[in-house]
């Protein structure tokens, strides 16, 4: 038989992915990953609940740990490109046990955000139906528990199916989605300020310099909770930093795009935060940002009174951006699960790839099942599922990002002090960022045991957010031990060995 086979390097590399993204494109990708319309509607309320009028201050401060950790993430991504990301890096740095939990944290965070994205999309789906038909009772359908759960599961299933088939959001669609989001958020802010100026605001509140002072936050608990939430609001920004060969100018585009993206985001966040506070105040009145019923999804409540008949645009932009995020977010936990299956840290079936669509088949479906399960449980036991989910999500991001940052410090320990760049990017920044996040994680976890924490849901006298957050982590620990019993190869270091960056390699 005269058969030949090209080597793995024979893969023809051409087309779409390399050198196709310019500065604007990279900013669009960055903004799209952050999904500001979705993020604000989901996180603005819970953050106000924690820090009140110091919302702008927390949004500014919250960027710092994100930046510090993202720098470390980029170093790891360059040194060890791998589908498992945090899982692989933490395993390499700290061994299989910490690595497994790091991977679990990443999967849990993405699975939680999937369930929240779907739920927010469903809220705005019914709201938009109501706005389209002029029949306001349709918006209340989302409060019907069985219908809400059923619709959310349909959204999750659809996104899973699209992701499984390897369908992707195209460049043009992404530009439109991002442009539309920024436009509508700007519109919302201007309309809110106009109401304030005309004296038609719900609870006109004068902007004060104190709003920008993070030290004015009443307690460290509130500060920690606020920061862990604002980690979530910037979650996605670091995608710009990790871009490389897909950009037209790998030397400069990622750095510039990261800077420009954060400027765009900070401007839009601060504008919308100030507009919301000025218009609605932090009281617990009908439209007040301090009203716990409004905090789960602030735009669902405020877009109507602020934007009038154009509120449907807000519904459309939140719905479209969360649907797009839902689809793209499915890729991530699926790939981490795939990598864990590949390294035998999970059963080998998680490593399966669909012959037809070449996507992680088993892992994608597993992520959908997990997201659905998480949503159903949260929805049933919580009085305000969106609110509590976001708080638990903030905790989970602090957990896995903290581990990732520490993995960076430890993995590069031999080269950390070889030059000024390494001291800053491989040691100081990730160390500081990691410590901040882990402290926030521990503080939030401890505080959340209080039954009044978050939306005030609790089980047996323990806060629901604590149960959700630590429950998910404990579940991971249990599964890890089970996996160790079933197939200890990974835990013995057979598939992925502990190690560190060799000292002689200078980067």
Partner 1 sequence: MDYIVGYTADERGRDAVSLAVALARRQDAKLQLVMVMPEHSPFNAVYPPERGFESILSAQLQEWLAEGLAMIPDDVTARAHVISADSQAGGLIDAAVDSGASLIIIGASSRGLRKRFNVGSVAGTLLHASPVPVALAPQGYRRLDPITRLTCAVGTRAGADEVIAVAVDSAARRKLPLRLVSLVALDPSSGADGADAAAVEAAHDHANTRLAEAAASLAAGGQVSVEVVRGSTVEEAIGALAWDEGEILLVGSSRLAQHSRLFLGVTANKILRALTVPMVVVPRSYRSDDIQSRQPERSVTKRSDAGEGRDVQPTEVSQ
CB 330 within 8 A of CB 159: yes
CA distances from 192 to 177, 181, 201, 277 (A): 22, 16, 7, 9
Query: Could you tell me which of 336, 349, 332 has the C-alpha nearest to residue 486?
Result: 349
CB of 33 to partner 1, least distance (A): 4
DSSP lists the bridge partners of residue 353 as: 360
DSSP lists the bridge partners of residue 21 as: 247
CB 434 within 8 A of CB 417: no
> Which helix H or strand E contains 378, and what residues bound it?
helix 361-381
Among 15, 134, 146, 461, contact with partner 1 (rule: CB under 8 A)? 15
State the Rg of the chain over Cα.
22
DSSP lists the bridge partners of residue 459 as: 462
> Which helix H or strand E contains 418, and what residues bound it?
none
Number of Cβ within 10 Å of residue 24's Cβ equals: 11
Query: Could you tell me which of 492, 507, 504, 503 has the C-alpha nearest to residue 91?
Result: 492
In the complex with partner 1, which residue's Cβ is closer, 221 or 242?
A: 242
CB of 344 to partner 1, least distance (A): 13
Phi/psi of residue 23, each to 5°?
Answer: -60, -50
Applying CB under 8 A, does 339 fall inside the site for partner 1? yes
| Number of chain positions touching partner 1 (CB under 8 A) | 64
Number of Cβ within 10 Å of residue 255's Cβ equals: 13
Among 23, 98, 171, 187, contact with partner 1 (rule: CB under 8 A)? 171
Applying CB under 8 A, does 20 fall inside the site for partner 1? yes
Among 22, 23, 64, 77, contact with partner 1 (rule: CB under 8 A)? 77
Among 92, 335, 426, 443, contact with partner 1 (rule: CB under 8 A)? 335
CB of 251 to partner 1, least distance (A): 17
CB of 285 to partner 1, least distance (A): 36
Token code pair at residue 500: 């560190």
CB of 95 to partner 1, least distance (A): 20
DSSP lists the bridge partners of residue 120 as: none
Applying CB under 8 A, does 101 fall inside the site for partner 1? no
Token code pair at residue 155: 């959204």
Applying CB under 8 A, does 248 fall inside the site for partner 1? no
Applying CB under 8 A, does 243 fall inside the site for partner 1? yes
CB of 357 to partner 1, least distance (A): 8
Among 67, 83, 98, 428, contact with partner 1 (rule: CB under 8 A)? 83
CB 37 within 8 A of CB 182: no
Applying CB under 8 A, does 29 fall inside the site for partner 1? yes
Applying CB under 8 A, does 504 fall inside the site for partner 1? no
Applying CB under 8 A, does 507 fall inside the site for partner 1? no
Applying CB under 8 A, does 106 fall inside the site for partner 1? yes
CB of 208 to partner 1, least distance (A): 35
Among 219, 356, 419, 500, contact with partner 1 (rule: CB under 8 A)? 356
Applying CB under 8 A, does 28 fall inside the site for partner 1? yes
Token code pair at residue 442: 């521990």
In the complex with partner 1, which residue's Cβ is closer, 81 or 493?
A: 81
Applying CB under 8 A, does 324 fall inside the site for partner 1? yes
Task: Name residues contacting partner 1, limited to 131-170 (CB under 8 A).
Answer: 166, 168-170
Applying CB under 8 A, does 402 fall inside the site for partner 1? no
Applying CB under 8 A, does 434 fall inside the site for partner 1? no
DSSP lists the bridge partners of residue 462 as: 459
**Local structure of 258: helix, strand or coil:** helix
Pairing assessment for the beta strands 462-463 and 458-459 based on DSSP bridges:
antiparallel
Question: CB under 8 A: which stretch of 79-87, 115-123, 186-194, 203-211 binds partner 1?
Answer: 79-87
CA distances from 216 to 203, 280, 505 (A): 22, 20, 46
DSSP state of 265: H
Beta strand extents in 287-444 (DSSP E only) = none
Question: CB under 8 A: which stretch of 231-239, 447-455, 466-474, 475-483 binds partner 1?
Answer: 231-239
> Which helix H or strand E contains 197, and what residues bound it?
helix 171-198
**In a 10 Å sphere around its CB, with 0-12 CB exposed, 13-18 middle and 19+ buried, how is residue 11 labelled?**
exposed
CB of 71 to partner 1, least distance (A): 14
CB of 354 to partner 1, least distance (A): 9
In the complex with partner 1, which residue's Cβ is closer, 48 or 437?
A: 437
* Site residues, partner 1 (CB under 8 A): 1-6, 8, 10-17, 20-21, 25, 28-29, 32-33, 77, 81-86, 88, 106, 110, 166, 168-171, 174, 235-236, 238-239, 242-243, 246, 324-325, 328-329, 331-332, 335-336, 338-339, 342, 351, 353, 355-360
């Amino acid at each position: 038989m005269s058969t030949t086979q090209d080597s793995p390097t024979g893969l023809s590399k051409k087309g779409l992915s390399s050198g196709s993204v310019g500065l604007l494109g990279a900013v669009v990708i960055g903004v799209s990953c952050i999904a500001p319309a979705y993020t604000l509607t989901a996180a603005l309320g819970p953050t106000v609940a924690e820090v009140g009028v110091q919302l702008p201050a927390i949004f500014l401060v919250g960027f710092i740990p994100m930046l510090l950790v993202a720098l470390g993430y980029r170093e790891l991504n360059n040194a060890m490109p791998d589908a498992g990301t945090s899982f692989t890096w933490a395993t390499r740095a700290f061994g299989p046990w910490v690595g497994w939990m790091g991977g679990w944290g990443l999967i849990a965070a993405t699975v939680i955000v999937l369930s929240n994205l779907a739920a927010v999309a469903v809220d705005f789906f019914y709201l938009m139906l109501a706005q389209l038909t002029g029949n306001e009772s349709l918006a209340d359908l989302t409060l019907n528990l069985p219908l809400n759960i059923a619709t959310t599961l349909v959204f999750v299933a659809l996104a899973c199916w699209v992701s499984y088939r390897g369908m992707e959001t195209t460049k043009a669609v992404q530009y439109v989605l991002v442009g539309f989001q920024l436009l509508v958020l700007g519109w919302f802010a201007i309309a809110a300020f106009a109401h304030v100026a005309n004296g038609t605001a719900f609870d006109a509140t004068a902007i004060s310099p104190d709003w920008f002072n993070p030290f004015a936050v009443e307690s460290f608990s509130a500060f920690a909770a606020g920061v862990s939430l604002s980690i979530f609001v910037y979650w996605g920004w670091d995608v710009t930093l990790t871009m490389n060969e897909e950009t037209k100018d790998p030397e400069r585009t990622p750095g510039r795009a990261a800077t420009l993206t954060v400027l765009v985001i900070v401007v839009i966040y601060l504008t919308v935060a100030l507009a919301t506070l000025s218009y609605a105040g932090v009281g617990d009145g009908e439209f007040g940002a301090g009203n716990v019923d409004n905090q789960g999804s602030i735009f669902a409540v405020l877009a109507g009174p602020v934007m009038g008949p154009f509120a449907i645009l807000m519904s459309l932009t939140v719905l479209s951006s969360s649907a797009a995020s839902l689809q793209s977010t499915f890729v991530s936990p699926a790939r981490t699960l795939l990598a864990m299956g590949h390294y035998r840290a999970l059963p080998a079936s998680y490593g399966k790839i669909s012959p037809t669509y070449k996507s992680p088949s088993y892992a994608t479906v597993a992520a959908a099942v997990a997201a659905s399960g998480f949503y159903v449980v949260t929805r049933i036991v919580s009085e305000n599922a969106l609110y509590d989910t976001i708080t638990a999500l903030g905790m989970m991001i602090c957990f896995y990002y903290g581990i990732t940052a520490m993995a960076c410090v430890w993995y590069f320990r031999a080269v950390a002090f070889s030059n000024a760049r390494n001291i800053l990017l491989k040691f100081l920044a990730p160390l500081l960022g990691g410590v901040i996040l882990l402290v926030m994680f521990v503080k939030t976890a401890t505080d959340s045991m209080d039954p009044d924490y978050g939306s005030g849901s609790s089980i047996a006298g323990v806060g629901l957010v604590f149960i959700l957050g630590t429950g998910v982590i404990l579940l991971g620990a249990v599964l890890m031990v089970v996996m160790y019993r079933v197939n200890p190869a990974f835990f013995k270091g057979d598939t992925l060995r502990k190690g560190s960056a060799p000292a002689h390699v200078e980067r």
